[in-house]
Structure 1
Amino acid sequence: MLKEAIYHRPKNNFAYAYDKETLHIRLRSKKGDLVKVFLIHGDPYQWTAAGWSNTTKPMTLEGSDDLFDYWFAEIKPEFRRLRYGFEIYSNTESAVYGERGFSDKDPRDSGFYFCFPFLNSVDVFEAPSWVKNTVWYQIFPERFANGNSELNPKGTLPWGSADPEPDTYFGGDFEGIINNINHLVKLGITGIYLTPIFKANTNHKYDTIDYMEIDPQFGDKKTFKQLIETCHKNGIRVMLDAVFNHSGFYFEAFQDVLEKQEKSKFKEWFHLREFPVQAFPEPNYDTFAFTHMMPKLNTEHPEVKQYLLHVAKYWIEEFDIDGWRLDVANEVDHEFWREFRRAVKVIKSDVYILGEIWHDSMPWLQGDQFDAVMNYPFTNASLEYFAKDKINADEFAHQLSKVLTSYPRNVNEAAFNLLGSHDTPRILTICNENKEKLKLLFLFQLSFIGTPCIYYGDEIGLTGENDPGCRKCMIWEESKQDSELFNIVKKLISLRNKHTAFGNEGEFTFLETNTDKNYVIYSKQSVDETIIITINNSSDHIDVNIPYDFTNKEPVNLWDYSKQKDTSKIELTPYGFSIILVKN
């Protein structure tokens, strides 16, 4: 038994309140080291003459990554408080593990064990319930559809007439989205994420000039309100992009600094290193990355904080938006985000707060800041396995298990799972235009835990390299769309909506991975259903034995709703898949 690898901490992803009466407990151990683990638990104040009174519960092996196993147990303490530890077994020895370390046997002393002092309802992480059943669609407004040519900026090109460049315009606007809302309804979309819509100097709008005004190329506030109302009538929520880490170069406050320098009343609004402030040859002020056009805002300054919180509240109060996606969220101070959450949740308690963070995000996901982050570890693992063939089936399972065990389950259920975006190459391009691989990506994304997001045009086979190539005009001529791909994505979304286990109600478990044949088998299990999905990520025909007991079951193939005869043994075509449903 390698005791050095055994780890638990009574907070974050290792011990947390799943709901108002349930605790989840995790233990980490060296991969393959422990053969069984029991949770020792009891109320801290219940004692007998023999010592502290406790009981045990078996823990399940939740998953494994390349180094560790993760053990899991769910417990409902009678009095909402808990002392607990672990009874652990390897093939050669056993031990009891608590906050004070290891013991040969239960010391019957609650002080030896870990403590969950009290399950306070206010401390439970709780993302908006509607998010768990939402399928998002990201729209880069300049490139989705041109509905009103009178709004076109100077030099606007005919729609789709050229490949995009960093400074080209094609005239996408709000009316274009409204006119094509049926495309989203038909696909099954229930949430739209719009990249920035506020007045800016570029086509991407991440260099805000005025946070209180719509960019005129998209329309006016009346048209925006019409867009929101149209979406809501069709069961679609709307999330806006908040660029609060930095402003644009032409933001009024920054222009005042450049003009008046040390005498500017806005000089504390930015991180200025010296005077005179200048952009060239290199900016002597903090920016997003090293872009002089995006000066970093000082969100610790009371006036900046007041201004940005006013912005955040205004668009909810006046237009009833449903969420904020927070750009470069990890570079803004935590206290600002705490105040941001309090401010917007008072106005609309179920507004969705999504942070753009590309790395471990636990510090932002403890219930006091964000509801979710953009799940790039999921993105990277999925693309490296399905699209790029950079990792094998075992490595894919390890990476996804690491993602799932890095956060509480109620956090994972609200995670924003994307495959492509305005910041990355098109997923069909990453797949070397192998559409069969793209189908597998969509299958995995739409059957995984979390809330999936489709980047506009991926559902009809748009291609493109990194920015600006990934920002092509949406193709609206049906003859040029990949209708087969569209219908597959539509069908997968309908399965997610129809079957509780396929979506967020299903507990995700890898059943088997095979590196030689490069397939994965995983299950999604809810109270009523179990769905077993097998994916062949290879160019070979393969035979697979599914590690599941189908005795006395009536399995159904969910893809064509045919009844399966010999379900445990299946044959898969190259890049084929199987989706089998059984009632519990």
Structure 2
Amino acid sequence: MNKAAIYHRPKNNFAYAYDEETLHIIIQSGRDDLLSIDLIYGDPYQWENGSWLSNAVSMEKSGSTELHDYWFVAIKPEYRRMRYGFRCVSKTENWTYTERGFYKEPPNDSAPFFCFPYLHAQDVFQAPAWVKDTVWYQIFPERFGNGDSSNDPEGTLPWASTKPATDNFFGGDFQGVIDHLDHLVELGITGIYFTPIFKAYSNHKYDTIDYMEIDPQFGDKETFRNLIKACHNRGIRVMLDAVFNHSGYYFMPFQDVLEKQERSEYKDWFHLWEFPLETEDVPNYDTFGFVPSMPKLNTANVEVRNYLLEAARYWIEEFDIDGWRLDVANEVDHVFWRDFREVVKSAKPDAYILGEIWHDSMPWLQGDQFDAVMNYPFTNGAIEFFAKQAINANDFVNILTDVLHMYPANVNEVSFNLLDSHDTPRILTLANNNRQRVKLLYLFQLSFIGTPCIYYGDEVGMAGDEDPGCRACMVWEKDQQDRQLFDFVKHLIHLRRTVPAFGNKGSFRFLSADSLTNTIVYKKSTQDEQIIFVLNNSEKSSKVSVSELENKTTKELITNNRVTFEEDTVVNLEPYGYYCFRIL
């Protein structure tokens, strides 16, 4: 038995309260090393004849990577508290793993075992329930639609008359969004994520000038209020982008510092190294990256903190927005984010708080800061496998299995699963203009655990390389849109909304992966429903044997065809083919 590979920690993603009654317990072991693991558990205060009373229940293997197996069990402790350990069985050995290490025989005393002290309802991770069933659509406002030419900034170019650049404007605004909401409704979108809308110098608006004012090129506050109402009337939630890590160059407090230097009353609003400030080349103050026009805000300063928290409250209370996406969230201190959550949740208890973090984010997902983060580990794995075909099927399964076990299940259910954004090349470009690969990407994304997001224009086949190429004007001429792709995505969103196991109510489990053929098989299931997905991420035809389909009658959800399997469970796949078999 490879004891060094066996690992459990009684908190975070390995032991947590899923709801007010249920604990989720996970343990890691070496790949294919153990035959079984049983959870040994009991109440710490139940004893008989000097021995601790315990029970045992089998754990299920919930996933495997190249190095590890993961084992899972959901348990409802009778008195909401629990001591527990693990009976680990290999072909030749049987050991009990506890907080104090391994025992040949289970201890009679509860003291060596892991401890879950008490399941407090208020400690259960709580994200807004509506997010689980939301399909997001990211809009870069300057490039979505020009509905009101009267607010166009100076030098605005005719719509889509040239390629996007870092400094050109095409007049996108709120009225343009209002004019095209029916497009989103037809697609099945139930949430919009706007990149920044506040007054700023650039076309991307991540260099904020005033956090309390809308950029004039997008319209005024009344138009924005009308936009929110129009979205809500269509069942669409609205999330805004907050840039609280840094301000823009023309932010009044920073301009005051540039003018008055060390005499400025705002000098402590930023992280300044020395005077005079150097704004050319490499700045002598903290910034986003090394961008001189984006000075980093000092969120430990009380005045800065109060200003930003007031902005967070204002846009919720005054305009009824539904959430905040937080730019460069990992570079802002945890104390500020805890205060931010208090303010936001007091203004709107079911507001969604989403952090932009590109790596393991467990420190921000303890229930006291964010509801979710942008799930870039998911993004990277999906893009590398389906779009770029840079990794094989087994590598992909390893990555996604790690993703699934990185956070508690109730965190995964609201993770923001994007495929691309204003910060990355578009998926069609990443897929080398292969629309079949893009379809596989969407099928996997929209059947995975979490809350998916579509970047504007991807659904009609827009392409584009790195910024600024990925920020082109939305194509509205239907004869220039890929309507077949639109209808495909629309159908997947419909399935996600109407078939519980297809959507976020179904648990996810990989069944097989074949790196020679680049095929994967996975299952989504609820208590009442099972769907088997078979995907061929290859330009060659393939055959996959799926034992779970033996003697089953199914409905294939893409074609609505009835398919019956007997002993022969071989599924024939065309190049880049896919099936979604719902077992009847």
What are the Cα deviations for residues 354-404 of structure 1, in whole angstroms up to 9, with x where unaligned? Answer: 000000100000100000000000000001000111111111000000001
**Contact between 1:209 and 1:250, CA under 8 Å: does it hold in 2?**
yes
Deviation at 1:550, TM superposition (A): 4.1
What are the Cα deviations for residues 136-195 of structure 1, in whole angstroms up to 9, with x where unaligned? Answer: 000000000000011111111110111101001000000000000000000000000000
AA partner of residue 149 (structure 2): S
Q: Which residue pairs with 1:579 in the alignment? A: 580
- The answer to whether the aligner puts 1:339 opposite 2:345 as a matched pair is no
What are the Cα deviations for residues 64-102 of structure 1, in whole angstroms up to 9, with x where unaligned? Answer: 112111110100001100000000011110100010111
Q: Which residue pairs with 1:493 in the alignment? A: 493
Deviation at 1:2, TM superposition (A): 1.1
Deviation at 1:566, TM superposition (A): 2.8
Q: Write out aligned runs for 1:227-376 (5 A).
A: 227-376=227-376
**Contact between 2:553 and 2:565, CA under 8 Å: does it hold in 1?**
no
**Contact between 2:378 and 2:400, CA under 8 Å: does it hold in 1?**
yes
Q: Which residue pairs with 1:559 in the alignment? A: 558
AA partner of residue 436 (structure 2): E
Deviation at 1:540, TM superposition (A): 1.2
Q: Among the aligned pairs, what percent are the same residue? A: 61
Q: Write out aligned runs for 1:28-43 (5 A).
A: 28-43=28-43
Deviation at 1:445, TM superposition (A): 0.2
How many residues matched?
A: 582
User: Secondary structure of the residue that 1:255 maps to in structure 2?
Assistant: helix
Deviation at 1:542, TM superposition (A): 1.4
CA distance in 1, matches of 2:4, 2:543: 41
AA partner of residue 564 (structure 1): V
AA partner of residue 583 (structure 2): V
Q: Write out aligned runs for 1:94-493 (5 A).
A: 94-493=94-493
**Contact between 2:345 and 2:351, CA under 8 Å: does it hold in 1?**
yes
Q: Which residue pairs with 1:51 in the alignment? A: 51
**Contact between 1:511 and 1:547, CA under 8 Å: does it hold in 2?**
no
What are the Cα deviations for residues 188-231 of structure 1, in whole angstroms up to 9, with x where unaligned? Answer: 00000000000000000000000000000000000000000000
AA partner of residue 426 (structure 1): R
AA partner of residue 352 (structure 1): Y
AA partner of residue 234 (structure 1): R
CA distance in 2, matches of 1:510, 1:281: 50
Deviation at 1:278, TM superposition (A): 2.4
**Contact between 1:537 and 1:575, CA under 8 Å: does it hold in 2?**
yes
What are the Cα deviations for residues 406-428 of structure 1, in whole angstroms up to 9, with x where unaligned? Answer: 11000000000000100000100
**Contact between 2:281 and 2:292, CA under 8 Å: does it hold in 1?**
no
User: Secondary structure of the residue that 2:218 maps to in structure 1?
Assistant: coil
What are the Cα deviations for residues 287-307 of structure 1, in whole angstroms up to 9, with x where unaligned? Answer: 000000000000011111111
User: Secondary structure of the residue that 2:66 maps to in structure 1?
Assistant: coil
CA distance in 1, matches of 2:344, 2:577: 45
User: Secondary structure of the residue that 1:109 maps to in structure 2?
Assistant: coil
What are the Cα deviations for residues 21-54 of structure 1, in whole angstroms up to 9, with x where unaligned? Answer: 1000000111111110000000000001151000
User: Secondary structure of the residue that 2:216 maps to in structure 1?
Assistant: coil
AA partner of residue 183 (structure 1): H
**Contact between 2:241 and 2:325, CA under 8 Å: does it hold in 1?**
yes
AA partner of residue 564 (structure 2): K
AA partner of residue 158 (structure 1): P
User: Secondary structure of the residue that 1:184 maps to in structure 2?
Assistant: helix
CA distance in 1, matches of 2:530, 2:99: 37
**Contact between 2:355 and 2:373, CA under 8 Å: does it hold in 1?**
yes
Deviation at 1:109, TM superposition (A): 0.9
CA distance in 1, matches of 2:300, 2:98: 40
AA partner of residue 88 (structure 2): I
AA partner of residue 4 (structure 1): A
**Contact between 2:37 and 2:87, CA under 8 Å: does it hold in 1?**
yes
AA partner of residue 499 (structure 1): V
CA distance in 1, matches of 2:526, 2:331: 38
What are the Cα deviations for residues 517-576 of structure 1, in whole angstroms up to 9, with x where unaligned? Answer: 11000000012210110000011111221120443x431111122210237222111101
CA distance in 2, matches of 1:224, 1:550: 55
AA partner of residue 272 (structure 2): L
**Contact between 1:512 and 1:547, CA under 8 Å: does it hold in 2?**
no
CA distance in 1, matches of 2:576, 2:337: 43
CA distance in 2, matches of 1:201, 1:191: 27
Structure 2 unaligned segments of length 5 or more: list them: none
TM-score (norm 1): 0.99
Deviation at 1:255, TM superposition (A): 0.5
CA distance in 2, matches of 1:554, 1:346: 50
CA distance in 2, matches of 1:382, 1:198: 32
Q: Which residue pairs with 2:67 in the alignment? A: 67
Deviation at 1:103, TM superposition (A): 0.3
CA distance in 2, matches of 1:515, 1:187: 34
**Contact between 2:518 and 2:537, CA under 8 Å: does it hold in 1?**
yes
**Contact between 2:549 and 2:565, CA under 8 Å: does it hold in 1?**
no
CA distance in 2, matches of 1:133, 1:21: 23
Q: Which residue pairs with 2:539 in the alignment? A: 539
Q: Which residue pairs with 2:523 in the alignment? A: 523
AA partner of residue 154 (structure 1): E
Runs in 1 of length 4+ with deviation above 4 angstroms?
Answer: none
Task: Tell me which moved more, 536-545 or 117-126.
Answer: 536-545
CA distance in 1, matches of 2:163, 2:527: 49
**Contact between 2:550 and 2:565, CA under 8 Å: does it hold in 1?**
no
AA partner of residue 30 (structure 2): K
CA distance in 2, matches of 1:462, 1:348: 36
RMSD of aligned alpha carbons: 0.8
CA distance in 2, matches of 1:509, 1:420: 24
AA partner of residue 573 (structure 1): E
CA distance in 1, matches of 2:415, 2:409: 10
CA distance in 2, matches of 1:205, 1:434: 32
What are the Cα deviations for residues 236-272 of structure 1, in whole angstroms up to 9, with x where unaligned? Answer: 0000000000000100010011111111111110000
CA distance in 2, matches of 1:55, 1:565: 42
User: Secondary structure of the residue that 1:217 maps to in structure 2?
Assistant: helix
AA partner of residue 156 (structure 2): T
TM-score (norm 2): 0.99
User: Secondary structure of the residue that 1:205 maps to in structure 2?
Assistant: coil
CA distance in 1, matches of 2:496, 2:19: 24
User: Secondary structure of the residue that 1:486 maps to in structure 2?
Assistant: helix
AA partner of residue 252 (structure 2): E
AA partner of residue 289 (structure 1): G
